[in-house]
């Protein structure tokens, strides 16, 4: 088990390194940041000074090396766009808004997606099942940016107690969190439905029923526990998507989180911020995947015992 975690951690670190490599060279090879940032009337000397200050006068491998060394200490340098602030500081300032929104969305996903999935499987073929399947299909297919605009038009504006943009009271969370959650709801609903159908058809469920275990206990205890393992591994991906992939939703609702920051920083070619964001995102994804892998191994007795007997 320890060996398994170690191997996966090493792979994860390599993945983050690769992401840093791609983002760094992509950003540098496609243009000189000074083209965008330096004022047009800047003197040659000032430009040279700026270059040295940002380390842009060194060779690319040198720049990459110092980038990695500094990044390991959480130092991504000052933002090009706001030179008085560090890139890490800017991200840290924007992170709480995204995390709060992501948490609300996660709560929606769990409290809507999972119960609907279970219910849908238990009442298979019923009207409720078909409505749930329709909801899942809709959530999987709807473009989030469009749904956001339509909700602003149909809900936020007519009932003007819901804000159309920005972060404010609790009501400003309603629309953005719902739009972010809709995909996750659809995914978990489908996953739990099919996993429940699978376990409900198995031999030990028949045995439990024959033993006279109540239907409620059969569903909530005997079937739900094993059925949860598969979907949980996918929940990792869903959670990552909600924490990092909310860019489009944050843009539509002018939500001051890291998604909107990514949009602003990329458009301004603010490389320190963009690189820091890319590494942060990749790290979140890698750590999430690792956690999911470990949880999965831990939860599934077949995998867990198999691993132990090998070690």
Q: How far apart are CA 152 and CA 156, in angstroms?
A: 5
Binder of other proteins out of 125, 160, 211, 302 (CB under 8 A): 125
Q: Which is nearer to other proteins, 153 or 298 (CB)?
A: 153
Quote the least distance from Cβ 295 to other proteins, whole Å. 16
Backbone region of residue 281 per phi and psi (left: phi > 0; alpha: psi in -120 to 50; beta: other values) = alpha
Residue 149 binds other proteins (CB under 8 A)? yes
Quote the least distance from Cβ 283 to other proteins, whole Å. 9
Cα Rg, the chain, nearest whole Å: 24
- Please list, in sequence order, all residues whose beta carbon lies within 8 angstroms of the beta carbon of residue 42, skipping any fewer than 6 positions away: 50
Residue 60 binds other proteins (CB under 8 A)? no
Binder of other proteins out of 87, 191, 208, 229 (CB under 8 A): 191
Residue 30 binds other proteins (CB under 8 A)? yes
Give phi and psi for 86, each to the nearest 5: -85, 155
Q: Are 227 and 192 in contact (CB under 8 A)?
A: yes
Structure tokens at 167: 């972060």
Residue 47 binds other proteins (CB under 8 A)? no
Q: Which is nearer to other proteins, 210 or 310 (CB)?
A: 210
Residue 266 binds other proteins (CB under 8 A)? yes
Four-CA torsion 110, 115, 116, 122, nearest 10 degrees: 150
Structure tokens at 183: 């995909």
Q: In this structure, is the dihedral angle defined by the CA atoms of residues 127, 218, 182 and 184, taken in order, positive or negative? A: negative
Residue 241 binds other proteins (CB under 8 A)? no
For helices 60-72 and 271-299, the axis angle rounded to 10 degrees is: 50
Residue 290: CB atoms within 10 Å: 16
Quote the least distance from Cβ 305 to other proteins, whole Å. 21
Residue 291 binds other proteins (CB under 8 A)? no
Binder of other proteins out of 9, 31, 60, 306 (CB under 8 A): 31
Structure tokens at 46: 């000032």
Residue 245 binds other proteins (CB under 8 A)? yes
Q: How far apart are CA 241 and CA 64, in angstroms?
A: 28
Q: Are 234 and 295 in contact (CB under 8 A)?
A: no
Q: Which of 88, 36, 33 is nearest to 258 (CA)?
A: 88
Q: Which is nearer to other proteins, 17 or 49 (CB)?
A: 17
Q: Which is nearer to other proteins, 18 or 60 (CB)?
A: 18
Quote the least distance from Cβ 31 to other proteins, whole Å. 4
Stretch that binds other proteins, among 49-57, 91-99, 170-178, 191-199 (CB under 8 A): 191-199
Binder of other proteins out of 23, 88, 135, 182 (CB under 8 A): 23
Q: Which is nearer to other proteins, 43 or 141 (CB)?
A: 141
Residue 243 binds other proteins (CB under 8 A)? no
Residue 222 binds other proteins (CB under 8 A)? no
SS (H, E, C) 118-143: HHHHHCCCCHHHHHHHHHHHHHHHCC
Q: Which residues bind other proteins (CB under 8 A)?
A: 11, 14-16, 18-19, 22-23, 26-27, 30-31, 121, 124-125, 133, 136-138, 140-147, 149-150, 152-153, 157, 187, 190-191, 193-194, 196-198, 200-201, 205-206, 209, 230, 234, 244-245, 247-248, 251-252, 262-263, 266-269, 274, 277-278, 281-282, 285-286, 289
């Amino acid at each position: 088990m320890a060996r398994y975690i170690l191997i996966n951690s090493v792979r994860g670190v390599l993945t983050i390194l690769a992401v840093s490599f791609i983002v760094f060279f992509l950003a540098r090879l496609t243009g000189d940041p000074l083209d965008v940032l330096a004022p047009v009337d800047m003197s040659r000397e000032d430009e040279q000074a700026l270059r040295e200050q940002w380390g842009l006068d060194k060779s690319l491998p040198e720049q990459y090396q110092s980038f990695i060394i500094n990044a390991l200490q959480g130092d991504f340098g000052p933002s090009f766009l706001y030179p008085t602030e560090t890139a890490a500081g800017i991200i840290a300032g924007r992170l709480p808004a995204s995390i709060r929104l992501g948490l609300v969305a996660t709560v929606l996903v769990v409290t809507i997606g999972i119960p609907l999935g279970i219910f849908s499987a238990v009442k298979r073929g019923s009207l409720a099942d078909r409505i749930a399947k329709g909801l899942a299909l809709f959530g999987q297919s709807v473009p989030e940016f469009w749904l956001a605009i339509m909700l602003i038009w149909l809900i936020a504006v007519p009932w003007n107690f819901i804000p159309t943009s920005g972060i404010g009271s609790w009501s400003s969370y309603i629309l953005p969190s719902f739009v972010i959650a809709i995909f996750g709801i659809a995914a978990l609903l489908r996953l739990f439905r099919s996993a429940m159908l699978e376990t409900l058809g198995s031999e030990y469920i028949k045995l439990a029923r024959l033993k006279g275990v109540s239907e409620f206990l059969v569903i909530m205890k005997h079937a739900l526990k094993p059925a949860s393992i598969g979907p949980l591994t996918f929940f990792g991906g869903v959670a990552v998507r909600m924490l990092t992939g909310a860019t489009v939703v944050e843009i539509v609702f002018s939500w001051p989180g890291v998604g909107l920051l990514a949009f602003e920083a990329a458009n301004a070619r603010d490389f320190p911020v963009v690189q820091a964001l890319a590494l942060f995102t990749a790290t979140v994804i890698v750590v999430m995947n690792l956690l999911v892998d470990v949880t999965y191994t831990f939860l599934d007795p077949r995998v867990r015992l198999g691993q132990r007997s090998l070690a």
